[in-house]
Copies of this chain bind each other. A is one copy, B any other.
Amino acid sequence: MTPVSRESADTSSGVFRKAYRTGSRPDIRVPVREVTLTTGDSFCLYDTSGPAAAGDEALPRLREPWIAERASRGACMTQRACASRGEITPEMEFAALREGVPPELVRDELAAGRAVLPANVNHPESEPMLIGKAFLVKINANIGTSAVTSSIAEEVDKMRWATRWGADTVMDLSTGKRIHETREGILRGSPVPIGTVPIYQALEKVNGKPEDLSWQVYADTIIEQCEQGVDYMTIHAGVLLRYVPLTARRRTGIVSRGGSILAAWCLAHHEENFLYTHFAELCEILRRYDVTFSLGDGLRPGCIHDANDEAQLSELRTLGELTKTAADYDCQVMVEGPGHVPMHKIAENVRLQQELCDEAPFYTLGPLTTDIAPGYDHITSAIGAAMIGWYGTAMLCYVTPKEHLGLPDREDVKQGVIAYKIAAHAADLAKQHPGAKAWDDALSDARFEFRWEDQFNLALDPDTARRYHDETLPAGPAKTAHFCSMCGPHFCAMKITQDVREYAASHGLADAEALTAGMTEKAEEFTREGGRIYLPVAKP
């Protein structure tokens, strides 16, 4: 992996500092969060929080020169088109550095449509982010105002807060009256790709009446959003008229807002979904800005009972067809998935999506593995998310503790992001992503060596880890103690293990020697021969 250039670190707060991995040109600088350990070493953590910024301050336009260089060339300039021509863009190189993989792999996965790099030419502030099964599993955080609650400033703050804890993308799902302004604040301040569901804004334009929607209102809305810089858009083009009756036998009908709006439109007009009939035009628009399709699953199941039913799978087949159309236009495409799915039906979702959609990246909401725990759906769904990530899903849309009950506040956003970083990292470990395990190893080493401060600072959430420890052993010396309040000084398994090893060391017995001697038969033989590797622990 490319060495981190510490010279260029531009923030510093005690043990944490932002450092950079630099690429083949000086403006390719990938930020990492460098943690200084008490051993004198340091460890670099993945970091999507972007440059420091306050209030409504816009971020630097990182990608502006890269976009300008391409713009002069005329040809189709989606990242996918560039990749297909064999080109490695600065965005691809940036993403490769962040992932710790060769840029050629990034190019090849993009060209094959197995990965996307959502990067609207009008969102130069964003840092490139890869979404594909060959890479780290990504997570998305949903934010946004509703008609009932919350303000623009709050939403911008939630966006920053989500990236602080590791969100790889953020979706602005605002409804209500100030959608454009809210999105502007979020886009200009966001270091990560921003996604939207344009039908929400289109519906506001027709005063909330689904039947008054039209292709023209919708097209105007997506052009407005493309111009503004949205990086990917959920488009429910697979909710076909003939699938709607299939939802009538369901326990919870249609639970996707976009899906229900389009279903209502189809039924009202007795016509096919205008997103489906105008899909080629959609491709032309999105290609112009390199906006990535996120083909929405408007008929996803809303409860365990409805999982993997005919309505869901019919729509998925149509999404497969649309994936191929988008590919013909060199558009980047990912495909959304459920929802509520019991564990034994999760793998089937990935298998079918990958098969029907030519391995386009899968982007799932959870799935929640049970319906019984409103208030804890970050947990019911982290279980499903970890599994579906392992099976090959490229991005996991978070679920917060407020799911089904209310809009997430700042603390809910954090809890959702943390639960999903756990799920994504557990999936990276299970996929044996190169480098994923180093973080676990660094933290485990700190734990075993009683380096409490390092254990806290390497934790996904250092604040909470430290606070929990301090609740029972607040004193400063406890931070260097070789035990914790769980077992106390005489009962600590790790301490006893350490004592054994130290005893061996102090008597000139290296670990390696003990090891060699120790392998099953050898150990017995050693004992028979009176060999004394270990001696009593508490007294000599």
Contact = CB atoms under 8 A, between A and B. Distances in A.
A252 B494 contact: yes
Interface in A213-256: 241-249, 251-256
Interface in A471-516: 471-473, 484-494, 496-501, 511, 514-515
Contacts of A499: 264
Interface string A429-450: 1111000010111011101100
A372 B442 CA distance: 9
Contacts of A514: 245, 248
Interface stretch (A4-12, A106-114, A182-190, A518-526): A518-526
A461 interface: yes
- Interface SS of chain A: helix
A383 interface: yes
Contacts of A455: 374, 404
A534 B124 CA distance: 45
B430 A242 contact: no
A74 interface: no
Which of the listed residues A423, A440, A519 has the most CB atoms from chain B within 10 Å of its own CB? A440
A304 interface: yes
Contacts of A469: 405-406
A254 B404 contact: no
Interface stretch (A34-42, A93-101, A145-153, A156-164): A145-153
Given A382-B379, A418-B373, A518-B245, A148 B539 contact: no
Interface in A335-355: 342-344
Given A252-B494, A253-B448, A373-B459, A523 B242 contact: yes
A380 interface: yes
A314 B538 contact: no
B472 A149 contact: yes
A196 B443 CA distance: 30
A464 interface: yes
Contact of A517 (B245, B254, B409, B498): B245
A254 B496 contact: yes
B461 A376 contact: yes
Nearest to A210: B537
A419 interface: yes
Interface residues of A, number: 139
Interface in A349-405: 369-376, 378-380, 382-383, 386-387, 390, 401-405
A198 interface: no
A139 to B, nearest CB: 14
A248 B78 CA distance: 53
A374 to B, nearest CB: 4
Nearest to A468: B405
Interface of A: 146-149, 175-176, 200, 203, 208-211, 241-249, 251-257, 259-261, 263-264, 267-268, 270, 302-305, 314, 342-344, 369-376, 378-380, 382-383, 386-387, 390, 401-407, 409, 418-419, 421-423, 425-427, 429-432, 437, 439-441, 443-445, 447-448, 455-456, 458-461, 464-465, 467-469, 471-473, 484-494, 496-501, 511, 514-515, 517-520, 522-524, 527, 532-539
20 contacts: A146-B486, A175-B488, A242-B523, A247-B497, A253-B501, A260-B496, A263-B497, A270-B532, A304-B441, A305-B440, A343-B429, A369-B429, A370-B425, A372-B422, A372-B439, A374-B465, A379-B379, A383-B422, A404-B486, A406-B472
